[in-house]
Amino acid sequence: MGYGGGPATIPLIEKEVVKNQQWMSTEEFSHVLGLSNALPGPIATKMAGYIGYSEAGILGSFISVFATIMPSLVLMMVLLSILNKFKDSPRVKRLSTFVLPTIAVLMAQLAFGFTETAILDNGAMLSVICIAIAFTLMEYVKISPILCIVAGLILGGLFL
């Protein structure tokens, strides 16, 4: 279970799928993540569906999506009813200020892991160039991250 939505659970899924269960490599996981990001809808459920299907077919896909959704849904309903009672409390307001940095650290850890894999697989120069181009396009040209992901998938498919 992860708090903060799909992006916050990606490092948790990666650790379980790549490191603990060894169902796929970091590179394969990054492809699943890229595809999941490119498609509409929640990231974690799309990843769970794909990973479950690749491991155990349709039943595996169903079970993994169900297992991804149900704990969070049940806990969210319980917690929201509690938070609704105390929504004006200063403690509840502070809770959000502590959660956001945690999500940022988890996402940074995932990004550094993917960068390390890219450098090992494609070389440092190509990886740095791709990172710089993507950063420039998203930060200064204001191109959607989805377009950068799709472009990266296309370029990776054509040249690597």
33 burial type by CB count under 10 A (0-12 exposed, 13-18 middle, 19+ buried): buried
- pLDDT over 70 (residue 48): yes
Residues 32, 55 contacting (CB under 8 angstroms): no
Residues 52, 65 contacting (CB under 8 angstroms): yes
pTM for the model stands at 0.49
Q: What is the pLDDT of residues 22-40, one digit of tens each?
A: 999 999 999 998 888 888 7
Provide the pLDDT for residue 2. Answer: 52
Whole-angstrom Cα distance, residue 119 to residue 92?
Answer: 42
Token representation of residue 106:
């988890």
Q: What is the pLDDT of residues 8-23, one digit of tens each?
A: 788 888 999 999 999 9
**Which H or E run contains 16?**
none
